[in-house]
Amino acid sequence: MKISKHGGDIYTEGLLKERALIDYSSNINPFGIPESFKNNINDILNLTVRYPDYKYRKLKQSIIDYHFKYEKVTLEEDELLLGNGASEVLEIFIRSINKLLIVVPSFIEYEELGHKWCQSVEYSFLNDNFEYGYDDILEKFKNCNGMILGNPNNPVGNRIDIDRFKEILDYAEANNKSVIVDEAFVEFMGENKSLTKLIKTYKSLFIVRAITKFFGMPGVRFGYGISSNKNMIKLMCESQNPWNVNTFGEHAAICSFNDEKYIAKTKKWINEELIFFKDKLSTLSFVEEVYETNCNFILVKLKGVTGTDLYEECLKQGYVIRKASNFRGLDDTYVRFAIKDRRNNELFLKAINNIKL
Amino acid sequence: MKISKHGGDIYTEGLLKERALIDYSSNINPFGIPESFKNNINDILNLTVRYPDYKYRKLKQSIIDYHFKYEKVTLEEDELLLGNGASEVLEIFIRSINKLLIVVPSFIEYEELGHKWCQSVEYSFLNDNFEYGYDDILEKFKNCNGMILGNPNNPVGNRIDIDRFKEILDYAEANNKSVIVDEAFVEFMGENKSLTKLIKTYKSLFIVRAITKFFGMPGVRFGYGISSNKNMIKLMCESQNPWNVNTFGEHAAICSFNDEKYIAKTKKWINEELIFFKDKLSTLSFVEEVYETNCNFILVKLKGVTGTDLYEECLKQGYVIRKASNFRGLDDTYVRFAIKDRRNNELFLKAINNIKL
């Protein structure tokens, strides 16, 4: 089965053949679309007869309110870059860098964008425990003028230790270098772990956020960037096409950021389910190690079976999982699982436990 | 009132102050959102829990079917470039050109994209009757390696004479130059006036289409490009971010292309309304000339009043019109009107007729 570079392709073998596959490869909130968006869909639909506000004033205000409420930071409109998915924001941020350092294994798109836009791409590998190697990052950063890493990092789920990371930010600030932190999954980490609290201190810091994962709507495509380097943000905004976020993306975000119930429910779920799922996974016969994660996905090292074989076996059971061999630094002994709701997780664990390898 | 460079900004003075302005500045189908999209909105909403198909197979097939049905051409999947609005397609096409020729007055974005991406930008002006000056275009084209023009052209509404234009296409084909034809409004011109019929003959031809105008959904942001230069299309697709069209854009297009009733109704309306509206406009005391148009908008030369003054007077009556002074080659004696349904047009004509200048 040919898969997309981004993970399980549920279309080729699944949807387009009308076969219902359950997707354990994409790390999406299993609660699905927030009710606040669902309940307003007809009103939102009716707004499509007009162009969106080209300044996206209401959308920006809802982002500002959201960060003030949940992260105690006061952002300003001109510190925000809106994107048609986090992909667009990542591209614009990475395109501003000449010599890029990528901390790996991490999201494959960093590397693709690096090769597309930067003069050179270097790598700092996670340490043996799959945690950030701050000393190595700082050392490698000396030959680069920008870096990117995740908080938390995908596919591992490790997070940035802010105290240790400040040394890197201080260095970047003093040397006019950029640090891009991809926080697409940050809300899953529970109480405020975001680096937004540092945004006013470090003009060198560029944070990427999205509604894709936490608000369960990868089909909507909305992400945004944050930086207090207002000059840079202005130039970046000017480089964008007009109306790059459609009416649905605009209002999906506005509704989501205001949906207290959905946000609370999700944080409660991941808090409980992560422990349950991780514990169960570690008892499986073909699991050698379950890596520490702060997030809604789990990286696993296999024993006695390759990721490719496990993938095929799972497919037979109606599940798509994420082979991790195309992440730089990993190989076919690793796979990544998404975490879903308890019922699905139990069914999945039962199915995977019964696989004869 | 500060307006966006793209025309009347109905947000600043209108929506954000809860003042209902009627927008005669945007050339959008007044029938609004196709029923076929409306009726399926809840099913489409539910699809957003997944990423769109990264190959957009169903969407591409619906485009192919649409062009076969209405324009008798058989396009192939790898002749299509999908965009987050026609803006993205225009950008990618223009970015491939080094020395750009723009036929003006025309859509302001051509010029902005030209200055953003091309080494040089030259202009061929419409002739005195505001028709294409084919000889001048061909002459100027010799110093450029790509050109862009509209079919029909915005803001005038003039269209390409295919027989005369073939000379330019032959020249482009023989000299490895690109011709971009923006057909965002082409369906309003009635029976098939599209240049898609030439797409297989000329690898140099790049056509831009969109659902924005004809299907009445500027908020949705979906456009696409067509060329039989498959190598070029492949490179262009590879330069795009993944999932650049969101689930709503994808399915708005699929629904629209299949909505025979909406398409027929719109073609009938414009056929009748254009004549009515044009005739009435030409009787107004401050109208010096109404230009020949094939489309759902009309360019007018004023007498005894500037575009700016007329704009302000219309605003007082609750209407936004398009001042045309920022189109290259026009000045503040020109304005552009959209055409809406009969009832709105009658009210608008009555209001504008009563303005004391």
pLDDT tens-digit series, residues A119-173: 999 999 999 999 999 999 999 999 999 999 999 999 999 999 999 999 999 999 9
pLDDT of residue B20: 79
Both tokens assigned to A194: 């975001």
DSSP 8-state assignment for residue A39:
T
Whether the per-residue pLDDT at B140 is higher than 90: the answer is yes
- Measured in degrees and rounded to the nearest 5, phi and psi for residue B34 equal -55, 140
Most distant CA atoms of chain A, gap in Å? 58
Are B16 and A42 inside 8 Å of each other by CB? no
Give the type of residue at A72: K
Residues of B whose CB is below 8 A from A243: 85, 87, 218, 221
Whether the per-residue pLDDT at B278 is higher than 50: the answer is yes
Residues of B whose CB is below 8 A from A59: none
| A·B CB contacts under 8 A | 146
In angstroms, what separates the C-alpha of B135 from chain A's closest C-alpha?
33
Among A5, A16, A221, the strongest candidate for a mutation testing the B interface, having the largest count of B CBs within 10 A, is: A221
Element (H, E) at B347: helix B342-353
CA distance A77 to A226: 10
Q: Which positions ≥6 away from A142 have C-beta within 8 Å? A: none
Are A48 and B249 inside 8 Å of each other by CB? no
3-state secondary structure B110-169: HHHHHHHHCCEEEEEECCCCCCCCHHHHHHHHCCCCEEEEECCCCCCCCCCCHHHHHHHH
Query: What average pLDDT does chain B have?
Result: 94
In angstroms, what separates the C-alpha of B182 from chain A's closest C-alpha?
16
Summarize pLDDT for A76-102 with one digit per residue, the tens: 999 999 999 999 999 999 999 999 999
DSSP 8-state assignment for residue A211:
S
In angstroms, what separates the C-alpha of B244 from chain A's closest C-alpha?
7
Both tokens assigned to A41: 């869909």
Q: Which positions ≥6 away from A92 have C-beta within 8 Å? A: A81, A83, A225, A236, A239, A240
Helix (H, G, I), strand (E, B) or coil at B189: helix
Please name the residues between 71 and 130 in chain B that touch chain A, using a CB distance below 8 Å: 84-85, 87-88, 91, 109, 116
Both tokens assigned to A54: 């080209």
For residue A121, list its beta bridge partners.
Answer: A100
Low-confidence stretches of chain A (pLDDT < 50) are 1-3
pLDDT of residue B1: 34
Are B6 and A54 inside 8 Å of each other by CB? yes
Please name the residues between 34 and 63 in chain A that touch chain B, using a CB distance below 8 Å: 37-38, 41-42, 45-55, 57-58
In angstroms, what separates the C-alpha of B58 from chain A's closest C-alpha?
9
Report the residue from B26, B50, B242 with minimal CB separation from A6. Answer: B242
A35-258 has the same fold as A22-33+261-354: no
In angstroms, what separates the C-alpha of B341 from chain A's closest C-alpha?
14
Are A242 and B6 inside 8 Å of each other by CB? yes
A237 close to A97: Cβ distance less than 8 angstroms: no
CA distance B155 to B107: 7
DSSP 8-state assignment for residue A52:
P
Element (H, E) at B87: helix B86-95
Helix (H, G, I), strand (E, B) or coil at B215: coil
Sequence-separated contacts (24+) of B36-39 with Cβ below 8 Å: B36/B255, B36/B256, B36/B258, B36/B259, B36/B262, B37/A45, B37/B217, B37/B251, B37/B252, B37/B255, B37/B256, B37/B259, B38/A45
In angstroms, what separates the C-alpha of B53 from chain A's closest C-alpha?
6
Are B246 and A247 inside 8 Å of each other by CB? no
pLDDT (mean) for B145-161: 97
CATH topology of domain A22-33+261-354: Aspartate Aminotransferase, domain 1 (3.90.1150)
Element (H, E) at B210: strand B205-210
Whether the per-residue pLDDT at B313 is higher than 90: the answer is yes
Tell me whether A247 touches chain B (CB under 8 Å): yes
In angstroms, what separates the C-alpha of A246 from chain B's closest C-alpha?
5
Tell me whether A33 touches chain B (CB under 8 Å): yes
Domain ranges of chain A: 22-33+261-354, 35-258
Residues of A whose CB is below 8 A from B33: 45-46, 48-49
DSSP 8-state assignment for residue A7:
B
Summarize pLDDT for B162-202 with one digit per residue, the tens: 999 999 999 999 999 999 999 999 999 988 899 999 999 99
User: What percentage of chain B reaches a pLDDT higher than 90?
Assistant: 91
Tell me whether A242 touches chain B (CB under 8 Å): yes
Element (H, E) at B172: helix B162-174
Tell me whether A10 touches chain B (CB under 8 Å): yes
Q: Which stretches does DSSP call E strand in A167-228?
A: 178-182, 205-210, 223-226
Both tokens assigned to B253: 């297009």
- Measured in degrees and rounded to the nearest 5, phi and psi for residue A324 equal -110, 10
Are A220 and B6 inside 8 Å of each other by CB? no
In angstroms, what separates the C-alpha of B245 from chain A's closest C-alpha?
8
DSSP 8-state assignment for residue B225:
E
CA distance B350 to B342: 12
Left, alpha or beta for B130 (phi > 0: left; psi -120 to 50: alpha)? Answer: left
Q: Is the peptide bond before B30 cis (omega within 30 degrees of 0)?
A: no
Distances (CA, A) of A76 to A229, A290, B153: 11, 40, 40
A22 close to A344: Cβ distance less than 8 angstroms: yes
CA distance B322 to B306: 12
Alpha helices in chain A (DSSP H): 35-38, 41-46, 57-71, 86-95, 108-117, 134-141, 162-174, 230-238, 247-257, 260-282, 307-316, 342-353
Residues of A whose CB is below 8 A from B84: 84, 241, 244, 246
Element (H, E) at B103: strand B99-104
Could you say which architecture CATH assigns to the domain B35-258?
3-Layer(aba) Sandwich (3.40)
- Closest by CA to B26, choosing from B272, B297, B310, B355, is B297
- Measured in degrees and rounded to the nearest 5, phi and psi for residue B235 equal -60, -40
Distances (CA, A) of B326 to A51, B86, B105, B157, B323: 20, 21, 9, 17, 8
CA distance B223 to B249: 9
Report the residue from B4, B15, B221 with minimal CB separation from A246. Answer: B221
Tell me whether B69 touches chain A (CB under 8 Å): no
Among B48, B54, B91, B341, the strongest candidate for a mutation testing the A interface, having the largest count of A CBs within 10 A, is: B48
Tell me whether B11 touches chain A (CB under 8 Å): yes
Are A246 and B219 inside 8 Å of each other by CB? yes
Tell me whether B21 touches chain A (CB under 8 Å): no
Q: Which residue of A has its CA nearest to B48?
A: A219
Indicate if ipTM > 0.85: yes
Summarize pLDDT for B1-11 with one digit per residue, the tens: 334 555 556 66
In angstroms, what separates the C-alpha of B164 from chain A's closest C-alpha?
33
Are B49 and A219 inside 8 Å of each other by CB? yes
Whether the per-residue pLDDT at B12 is higher than 90: the answer is no
Dihedral angle of Cα A57, A59, A61, A62, to the nearest 10 degrees: 160
Sheet containing B146-150: order of strands:
B80-83, B223-226, B205-210, B178-182, B146-150, B99-104, B120-125
Report the residue from B37, B48, B57 with minimal CB separation from A219. Answer: B48
CA distance B241 to B218: 21
Residues of B whose CB is below 8 A from A41: 41-42, 45
Give the type of residue at A224: Y
Report the residue from A28, A52, A87 with minimal CB separation from B241. Answer: A87
Helix A57-71 × helix A247-257 angle, to 10°: 30
Summarize pLDDT for B208-261 with one digit per residue, the tens: 999 999 999 999 999 999 999 999 999 999 999 999 999 999 999 999 999 999
pTM score, whole prediction: 0.93
Residues of A whose CB is below 8 A from B244: 84-85, 87, 221
Are A246 and B45 inside 8 Å of each other by CB? no
Q: Which residue of A has its CA nearest to B25?
A: A50
DSSP 8-state assignment for residue B52:
P
- Measured in degrees and rounded to the nearest 5, phi and psi for residue A211 equal -95, -5
